[in-house]
Chains A and B, each alone.
Chain A
Amino acid sequence: MSDTILNVSDLHASYGPLSVLRGLNFEVNEGQVVVILGANGAGKTTTLRSICQMCDTEGSITLRGTDISSKGTADIIRLGVGHVPQGRGTFAELSVIDNLLIGSYTRSDDGVQADIDRWFEMFPILAERRDQLAGSLSGGEQQMLAVARALMSRPELLLLDEPSLGLAPIIVEQLFETLQRLNKEDGLTMLLVEQNANLALSMADHGYVIESGLIALEGSAQALMTDPAVQAAYLGA
């Protein structure tokens, strides 16, 4: 058994009067890639936002045993969570390099430049666009920037909300290769929300399917891939 990084139990979340999550239970273990599948509006984004306390939540969320459900977003990031929000969330009016620097905002070590060099090497296009405003990048470039920015804080747990959204298939493939390398080589733990279930399950260890605010199904990635219900709903088989 590996260590549990994230444990979520009986999570309820709401936007004002609208209740979206109705008692979610799941966990993410050290070094794993865990994928969350679900239809549009099922509550996947809300689940990731709940972990970072960006909506009203009830229930327990622990990060390495520490309860984070009453902490502020910035504090949770400081505890080692990285979050690539749906729709990228880059800083359009800031240059590429400033986007990366703000990603390292929580750090005080002197390895920031080395990390910038590393992500520039991994995403060479970002190095070329170094001083360009993020808002003027293409969708794919912005997605890479969003991932690189989240990695700049050296997270232990990376939350990714549909990183493939709007990207060309070849770019998606590259991005997932990169993510897989980060997982294998750096041991980075990931919680991944993805519409591209095939791709996501192929790199994941474990998966959950959310339906209208509840976990409808869970299992190893292998098991989910061969599950007839998952195949019918998410794998287009």
Chain B
Amino acid sequence: MTFSTFLTFVFAGLQDGAIYATVAIALVLIFKATTLINFAQGELAMLGAFFVYILSVEQGWPVWPAIFAAMLLSAGLGAAVERTLVRPFDPTDHLPVVLITLGLFLFVNALAGDIWNYQLRPFPVIFDRFPDWMPGIGGDRFIEIGGARLFYDTIGVWFTLGCMLLFLNVLLTRTQVGLAFRAVSSNVESARLAGVNTGRTLGFGWALAAAFGALGATLVAPSLGGIQPNLMVAILIYALAGAALGGLDSLGGAVMGGLIVGLIQSVVVSWFFVTVLEQRWMSVLQLGFAFAVILGVLVFRPSGLFGTRIIERV
């Protein structure tokens, strides 16, 4: 493999990885607060991307206002799910809530399939070409680095992830609700004793996670050439692998884990198997790899690479 081919796989892997990281952050936000995996996270995100589809493709909105509106709608949906389907249950008993999120996963997927059926629908291209004001590269789709093409699309996804992390950092460390969310994540009972309304604070966490999930799904759709209800099924598994690798309770770990999963998938799985096996085995192998990561982490290193707590009851 030439260096430039290798670099191409690295760029592609880190683009996928950034998307996994976005969804992994959504999973970790909820896990930190409740030690629960929200299996419906991917499907809620898929709905969020469909909101973008409706607003931008069907209603003709410009793409970024459509994305922001879809994130807000998703946040509301996330909070509503928490309020109606999660909060009524005993938080120390995980099984009912896990079953509920699994049920929600199936329900949302089937509902979306019913409304939009399973054929690919057009989705707006978000990062098409370098903007015109950029000297030398304005209007180009990519720049060349080491003989490999680094697409504007890839840079755009990284930039979005960066903005999201910055936003999350400010929100969690500089605002009252962020402080409350960290307190609830750390010790629910003490948070209550500090006067924090824990239910509402967890609702905020679900809203935040749903908004970020929607953003992640919005970044996935263009790279798959469109949107359909199964958009996020495999991505959820990859994001889960990334989150597990990162320790499930560490936001920084989720980012690193997501990037690592994307990178390894791209460089190792793509290159090795594309040269040996047929293309159609790709997704099977990628999924298998992700499951291997999840299983490996759970068996050999339950706190992941960056986590602090031991994972129980995922």
Measured CB to CB, the nearest residue on chain A to B309 is A93
Nearest Cβ distance between residue B51 and chain A, in whole angstroms? 33
* Pairwise interchain contact A92-B194, C-beta atoms closer than 8 A: no
Tell me whether A98 is interfacial, beta carbon within 8 Å. yes
Neighbouring B residues of A91 by C-beta, 8 Å? 182-183, 186-187, 190-191
Tell me whether A164 is interfacial, beta carbon within 8 Å. no
**Total number of residue pairs linking A and B with CB closer than 8 Å:** 66
Q: Among residues 45 to 103 in chain A, which have CB atoms less than 8 Å away from a CB atom of chain B?
A: 52, 54, 72-74, 77-78, 83, 85, 89-94, 98, 101-103
Nearest Cβ distance between residue B57 and chain A, in whole angstroms? 43
Q: How many residues of A contact B (CB 8 A)?
A: 24
Nearest Cβ distance between residue A96 and chain B, in whole angstroms? 13
With known contacts A91-B190, A92-B186, A98–B195 Cβ distance under 8 A: no
* Pairwise interchain contact B193-A85, C-beta atoms closer than 8 A: yes
Neighbouring A residues of B197 by C-beta, 8 Å? 72, 74
* Pairwise interchain contact A74-B192, C-beta atoms closer than 8 A: yes
Measured CB to CB, the nearest residue on chain B to A152 is B194
* Pairwise interchain contact B180-A105, C-beta atoms closer than 8 A: yes
Tell me whether A195 is interfacial, beta carbon within 8 Å. no
With known contacts A89-B187, A92-B187, A105-B176, A98–B192 Cβ distance under 8 A: no
| Cβ-neighbour of A90 out of B190, B198, B308 (below 8 A) | B190
Neighbouring B residues of A73 by C-beta, 8 Å? 192-193
| Cβ-neighbour of B182 out of A83, A98, A103 (below 8 A) | A98
Complex Cα spacing A153 to B308, Å:
30
Complex Cα spacing A149 to B192, Å:
13
* Pairwise interchain contact B192-A102, C-beta atoms closer than 8 A: no
* Pairwise interchain contact B191-A102, C-beta atoms closer than 8 A: yes
Tell me whether A14 is interfacial, beta carbon within 8 Å. no
Neighbouring B residues of A103 by C-beta, 8 Å? 194
* Pairwise interchain contact B182-A93, C-beta atoms closer than 8 A: yes
Complex Cα spacing A78 to B197, Å:
11
Complex Cα spacing A52 to B194, Å:
11
Neighbouring B residues of A93 by C-beta, 8 Å? 182, 185-186, 308
Measured CB to CB, the nearest residue on chain B to A53 is B192
* Pairwise interchain contact B189-A102, C-beta atoms closer than 8 A: no
Tell me whether A106 is interfacial, beta carbon within 8 Å. yes
Tell me whether B196 is interfacial, beta carbon within 8 Å. yes
Measured CB to CB, the nearest residue on chain A to B183 is A102
* Pairwise interchain contact B183-A83, C-beta atoms closer than 8 A: no
Measured CB to CB, the nearest residue on chain A to B197 is A74
Q: Which residues of B contact A (CB under 8 A)?
A: 176, 179-180, 182-183, 185-187, 189-198, 308
Can you add 13 more A-B contacts, CB < 8 Å, to A89-B187, A93-B308?
A52-B192, A73-B193, A74-B195, A77-B193, A85-B190, A89-B189, A89-B190, A89-B193, A90-B190, A93-B182, A105-B176, A105-B179, A106-B195
Q: List 13 A-B contacts (CB under 8 A).
A: A73-B192, A73-B193, A74-B198, A77-B195, A85-B193, A89-B187, A90-B190, A91-B187, A92-B186, A92-B187, A93-B185, A98-B182, A149-B194
